[in-house]
Amino acid sequence: MDFRLSLEHLALQKKARDFVDQVLVPVEMECELNDGLSAETLARLNPQVLEWGFNAINHSKEDGGQGYDVFEQTLINEQFGRVTGAIWDVVWQPAWPLRYATPAQREEYLLPTNAGKRRDAYAITEAEAGSDPRQVQTTAVKVPGGWKINGEKWFVTVGDVADYFLVHAHVDGDPDLPTVFFVEKNLPGVILKRTPLYTHHFAFKHPEYIFQDVIVGEDKILGEIGQGYNMTKDWFVEARLGIAARCIGGATRALEEANDYAANRKQFGQSIRDFQGIEFMLADMAVEIMAAKSMMYRCAWDMANNYDRKLAHARISACKLYCSEMVGRVCDKALQILGGRGYMRENAVERLWRDTRVDRIWEGTSEIQRVIIAGQIKKRGIGVYTDWF
């Protein structure tokens, strides 16, 4: 086994870090103070994403993406996780199920989205359907020439700037027929209900939308009727790994900040890092990151090398669970080391502490990850997690 990164991987990692430091970090305080980024800032950042070659890192070169494998994407996402305010989301990674687009949908949606000319938002969650997507109430009913969609979606991330949605609806209200539809935002009957405020100050919003008798054409189904949930669940494998990677990036930045602060801050005539109470926190943080990162690189490497997808799904649930809980512990300690300054929003540590809380909730809560892991143990035995194969 050789666990070292290749020179190419190190160069990619450095490029992603430089991009984050030079392009994304400078707008962090704008995002924090205004609860988002202005249209002017977004218009300025968009061409830089293209210039640096970070648009659609998760799609193939033929489809206008960067063609990075999952390990390379993980290296990039880890660096993206360093920035606060989820400004990493400015760097679009269009929904992975878009690769199931028909040739016509590819021209209309996938290619322009990968090129940064269009933006998608994925709408599954509803008031009654969170962890349990079978409770989705949004319906799609066949009408002459197309489909009529009725329902309401919550937490539509990037819904403020997206120009189309991928709406998860049940055909004829049948939970066995979950299906994803392309819905243009400017269609009659697409109504912005409200834009709630959240714990974090995110680059974009998570509005709620009503779909009232919205008519879409027959050609607006992504994939097959009834395949919506499987397609989305399959995408969650990569999406959860992406979250885990960003958690590692966020935790690493928090540790860097805390380590620097502890070296320079003097109380009682000495650096606070010389107090064992502080030093031990730094040690625990470093060990936690090391453990989480080893797990994440293993999962990412397996995925990039076409490892059995079901096993990858089982292990990546564990990775998402561990990394998202780890970043919470690390940021909390970092905040404690910064003392009162750690509680000031102008400090990255405070923002990371808030920003990363959602990683235990979206793309499957920590409890849902445990449900998956426990189910895998029952089905396949503990070796999925404890053995090395």
Ligand X SMILES: Cc1cc2nc3c(=O)[nH]c(=O)nc-3n(C[C@H](O)[C@H](O)[C@H](O)COP(=O)(O)OP(=O)(O)OC[C@H]3O[C@@H](n4cnc5c(N)ncnc54)[C@H](O)[C@@H]3O)c2cc1C
92 binds ligand X (CB under 6 A): no
Q: In this chain, which of 20, 98, 156, 167 binds ligand X, going by CB under 6 A? A: 156
Residues 153 and 256: their CA atoms lie apart, in Å, by: 39
Q: How far apart are the first and last CA of the chain?
A: 13
Is residue 128 annotated as part of the catalytic site, yes or no?
A: no
Q: Give the Cα-Cα-Cα angle 153, 156, 158 (nearest 5 degrees).
A: 155
> Which residue has 């999925």 as its token pair?
384
374 binds ligand X (CB under 6 A): no
Instruction: Provide the mask over 111-140, with x wherever binding to ligand X is found by CB under 6 A and - wherever it is not.
Output: -----------xxxx----xx---------
Choose one: 19-27, 171-179, 241-249, 367-375; the region binding ligand X (CB under 6 A): 367-375
Among 1, 2, 3, 12, CA closest to 293:
3
Pairing of strands 190-194, 208-217: antiparallel
Least separation in angstroms between residue 155's CB and ligand X is 3
201 binds ligand X (CB under 6 A): no
365 binds ligand X (CB under 6 A): yes
Least separation in angstroms between residue 128's CB and ligand X is 8
Among 341, 211, 310, 256, CA closest to 81:
256
155 binds ligand X (CB under 6 A): yes
CB 56 within 8 A of CB 76: no
Q: Helices (DSSP H) in 265-308: which residue ranges?
A: 276-304
Q: Which 204-263 residues touch ligand X, going by CB under 6 A?
A: 206
Least separation in angstroms between residue 373's CB and ligand X is 12
Query: What amino acid occupies position 274?
Result: D
Among 16, 95, 7, 9, CA closest to 52:
16
C-alpha 130: how far from chain center: 17
Which of residues 285 and 327 has its CB atom nearest to ligand X in the complex?
Answer: 327
Which of residues 282 and 372 has its CB atom nearest to ligand X in the complex?
Answer: 372
CB 112 within 8 A of CB 63: no
Least separation in angstroms between residue 17's CB and ligand X is 25
Least separation in angstroms between residue 189's CB and ligand X is 19
Q: In this chain, which of 55, 157, 356, 369 binds ligand X, going by CB under 6 A? A: 157
367 binds ligand X (CB under 6 A): yes
Which residue among 72, 238, 363, 367 is the active-site one?
363
361 binds ligand X (CB under 6 A): yes
> Which residue has 């430091």 as its token pair?
21
CB 314 within 8 A of CB 299: no
52 binds ligand X (CB under 6 A): no
Q: Which residues are catalytic?
A: 363
Q: Report the interface residues with ligand X, using CB under 6 A.
A: 122-125, 130-131, 155-157, 198, 206, 358, 361-362, 365, 367-368, 371
